[in-house]
Amino acid sequence: MTDSRDWFPATDEPNPVRSAQAGMKPVLPKRFYKEAGIAERDGLFTLTLDGRPARTPGRQILGVRSRPLAEALVREWADQGDEIDPRGMPVTRIVNSAIDGVSPRLIEVADDLARYAETDLVFYRAGEPRRLADAQEQAWAPILDWAGEVIGARFVLAEGVMHVRQPADSTLAVRDMVRAQNSPECLAALHVMTTLTGSVLIALAHAVGPIDADEAWDAAHVDEHFQESAWGEDHEAMVRRQNRKAEFLAASRVFHLAAAADRAAP
């Protein structure tokens, strides 16, 4: 067996973002394998390295129910150079956290995620300047409309950052929607998308709703785009945002590949 404890440290951390961040080590190990592949067994598509099954940092088999998701894992491992760099392997990090951290705690992770609906980004609006308030409304109103129509959740909006209590039936409806994503890979990916955007509603509207990944990411960064239009771009901030978007896109890919496998399962 091949495990990755030395470069993806073992963790029982149920938060996929913190778990993924813990896997970033500055000293990179040498690549020890020639070929990454897939072996199918007991309904799982397992990553293999030179024919041997790979394991997560927690010593679990690194396998998923979706062949396309397993192929995404293979591409990350095949694309490594002379050294193995976990920072360039976001799909592997998310799947590791799904297997080791999320799978044993599905309800706990789902409920932690659903609590974002109590203080979601899209509830808090700028009073001025008018152009920013209009941009927020344009980006966020369709998400709130979708939540009302599909989830049955309607929320109270506020101007500024003063906390506003949300209707209990609405937050419970979001919780039920999140709990319905009972695949560990889907839930881990949804958690990553939520923490990166600050909005479980944006994450859900992309994961199971009508908006694509770019629309979701832009909706989460209306304020930043407005500030840049007024004051110009900050290069370091832009690079950080690009790196975070790459993580978001990886989480989106994990979610949709895992969800497709769940739908196809008998």
Token couple for 5 = 């404890």
- Print pLDDT tens along the chain (266 aa): 555 555 555 555 566 666 655 555 468 889 999 999 999 988 899 999 999 999 999 999 999 999 999 999 999 999 999 999 999 999 999 999 999 999 999 999 999 999 999 999 999 999 999 999 999 999 999 999 999 999 999 999 999 888 999 999 999 999 999 999 989 999 999 999 999 999 999 999 999 999 999 999 999 999 999 988 888 878 888 899 999 999 999 999 999 999 999 888 77
Domain end position, chosen among 69, 103, 137? 103
CA distances from 172 to 29, 139, 152, 177, 179 (A): 45, 24, 10, 9, 10
CATH at 61: 3.30.2180.10
Nearest CA to 255 among 263, 152, 26, 114? Answer: 263
Q: What DSSP character marks residue 98?
A: I
Residue 158: Cβ within 10 Å count:
12
Q: Are residues 186 and 206 in the same domain?
A: yes
- Same domain assignment for residues 173 and 80: no
The CATH number linked to 236 is 1.10.3580.10
Domain count, the chain: 2
Domain boundary among 103, 135, 158: 103
Do 112 and 56 belong together in one domain?
Answer: no
Together in a domain, 50 and 93: yes
- Please identify, among 78, 103, 128, the residue that sits at the C-terminal boundary of a domain: 103
